[in-house]
Amino acid sequence: MVELEIGQEVEMEFGGKAQVLSVIGSGGQGTVYLVRFNGMKWALKWYDIDKMKKPKAFRKNLETNINDGPPSNKFLWPKYLTKEAEDGTFGYIMELKPDGFDSFVDILNTYKLEIDPLTGHAVKRDVKFTSLTAMITAVINIVNAFRQLHRAGKSYQDLNDGGFFINVNTGAVLVCDCDNIAPDGSNFGIGGKPGYMAPEVVRGIAQPNVQTDKYSLAVVLFKLLFRGDPMEGEKVVRDVCLTEASELKHYGQNAIFVYDPNDASNRPVRGIHDNVIKFWRIYPDYIKDAFIRSFTTGIDEPSKRIIENEWQKLFIRLRSEIIMCGCGRTNFTSMFVQPNEKTFKCPKCGMEFATLGFSNRDSRMPLYLGCKFYECEITPESDDFTTVAGELVENKLKPGVLGIKNCSERMWKAKMPDGTFYDISPGKGFPIWQGLEIDFGGITAKI
């Protein structure tokens, strides 16, 4: 392997030179350097060609990906190839990770280490989501990114915890390490990371593809929400020493979900898997059922794995079922008491929350100060889960009076306390009252 020296210049395929400024990190396939090219800073991934099985085909695939462009702006996509060095080594440049994003690994660890450059001492800094909405939004963003990728006919191949950067304040997601992405059905030698790889890939009987991506995606989501490994329970921990053979067994030949309803042999262990035990009881059944399906029937039957669109719908629903109570407790409606079908009550402070029922779904949305709903929830066929359509606010002129503000760009109609429907222009609002009805133009909602 030819490592690059600081200050060295690398010739780019279409002219110009990238100058190496420093090392960012190294991984299984090569090293990533900070470089300057055309007056801007970029990341250069430089491959260790000795570790590649099919370097020519790999480069060709990378070139195709660069020409196709990213499926959306959620990807840190390869931008330009370098020329090949004498021994055939090459690399590509991509944009740098913007500030404000943390790696998924750091989120799972709940901290990151910042190394003091002078002393070499490491200092821990917290990496945690600042709100439940941000965390669920991150889930929706991850799912959506893979939906876009798969719709483009490509698979990510080696989906794992190193593949994402997430903004813990907003839930924005960037998918990185996009260089192994390949047309579904092709593989250029990458296997993946045990624990994330689909069992059939671990066993060697399938190559990474869109279906194996779906399994890995379920693992990523499980780890993000439940903060543990879906296959690591009592059965695995009994082996103590994780040898190659035990990994083959527990993630391949004999993978058993920790909450498999028909097999209790691999339940989480107190003292080791406390997160999973705690969070499993918090999430509503429709979320748990999706994971159970992914990790039971989905183990042997790739076609029964949850598709991205289904995950997306489930998590858009979950986001709309968050309650931020005035007492400081934030949780899903599944963890609130339900005195009647239209009301939720905080079991801690007793505060009650009215709900809105929408004409396009069965689940009811709890109303609390600051709660938001999104375009996709009030517009048929909309996939826009990021644009806020409405928010519950306090009337600025009448303190204490709560109402819904139209944050969308369309006219709504709402029934006011006098019994008549009024037009609600963008920027306007209406109070919440017993007989409230809203017509969003197609989809309607009622208290």
**Region 190-219 residues binding other proteins, contact defined as CB under 8 A:** 191-195, 197, 201-205, 207
Give the C-alpha separation, 117 to 437, whole Å. 60
Please identify, among the stretches 63-71, 87-95, 266-274, 308-316, the one whose residues bind other proteins according to the rule CB under 8 A. Answer: 266-274
| Minimum separation from the CB atom of position 247 to other proteins (A) | 6
- Does 314 engage in binding with other proteins (CB under 8 A)? no
| Minimum separation from the CB atom of position 24 to other proteins (A) | 11
Choice between 199 and 429, CB closer to other proteins? 199
Grouping H, G, I as helix, E, B as strand and the rest as coil, residue 353 is: strand
| Minimum separation from the CB atom of position 440 to other proteins (A) | 29
Give the C-alpha separation, 152 to 136, whole Å. 25
- Does 351 engage in binding with other proteins (CB under 8 A)? no
Site for other proteins in 276-305 (CB under 8 A): 277-283
DSSP, res 398: S
> Which residue among 6, 264, 369, 388 contacts other proteins (CB under 8 A)?
264
Give the C-alpha separation, 155 to 153, whole Å. 7
Size of the site for other proteins (CB under 8 A): 81
Contact 178, 71 (CB under 8 A): no
Please identify, among the stretches 325-333, 387-395, 411-419, 429-437, the one whose residues bind other proteins according to the rule CB under 8 A. Answer: 325-333
| Minimum separation from the CB atom of position 193 to other proteins (A) | 6
Q: Tokens 């996009």 label which residue?
A: 178
**Helix ranges restricted to H, 281-403:** 285-295, 297-300, 308-320, 375-378
| Minimum separation from the CB atom of position 232 to other proteins (A) | 7
From residue 217 to residue 246, what is the string marking binding to other proteins with x (rule CB under 8 A)? Answer: ------x-x-xxx--xxx-xxxxxxxxxx-
Contact 10, 4 (CB under 8 A): yes
Q: Tokens 């992914």 label which residue?
A: 294
From residue 96 to residue 135, what is the string marking binding to other proteins with x (rule CB under 8 A)? Answer: ---------x--xxxxxx-x----x-x-x---xx-xx--x
Contact 27, 47 (CB under 8 A): no
> Which residue among 263, 274, 300, 394 contacts other proteins (CB under 8 A)?
274
Choice between 260 and 375, CB closer to other proteins? 260
From residue 26 to residue 65, what is the string marking binding to other proteins with x (rule CB under 8 A)? Answer: --x---------------------x--x------------
Please identify, among the stretches 57-65, 264-272, 382-390, 413-421, the one whose residues bind other proteins according to the rule CB under 8 A. Answer: 264-272
- Does 18 engage in binding with other proteins (CB under 8 A)? no
Give the C-alpha separation, 420 to 433, whole Å. 13
What sign for the dihedral angle of Cα 56, 62, 65, 69? Answer: negative
Choice between 242 and 388, CB closer to other proteins? 242
From residue 145 to residue 164, what is the string marking binding to other proteins with x (rule CB under 8 A)? Answer: ----------------xx--
| Minimum separation from the CB atom of position 398 to other proteins (A) | 33
Q: What is the DSSP string of 49-116?
A: GGG-S-HHHHHHHHHHHHHH--SSTTB----EEBPP-TTS--EEEEPPPPTT-EEHHHHHHTEEEEE-
Grouping H, G, I as helix, E, B as strand and the rest as coil, residue 5 is: coil
Q: What is the DSSP string of 147-207?
A: HHHHHTTEE-SS--GGGEEE-TTT--EEE--GGG-EETT---S----TTTS-HHHHTTSS-
Please identify, among the stretches 262-270, 363-371, 397-405, 413-421, the one whose residues bind other proteins according to the rule CB under 8 A. Answer: 262-270
> Which residue among 54, 56, 83, 348 contacts other proteins (CB under 8 A)?
348
Site for other proteins in 168-187 (CB under 8 A): 187
Choice between 281 and 396, CB closer to other proteins? 281
DSSP, res 233: S
| Minimum separation from the CB atom of position 397 to other proteins (A) | 35
Instruction: For residue 192, list its beta bridge partners.
Output: none
Measured CA angle at 403 (ends 398, 409), to 5 deg: 120
From residue 373 to residue 402, what is the string marking binding to other proteins with x (rule CB under 8 A)? Answer: ------------------------------
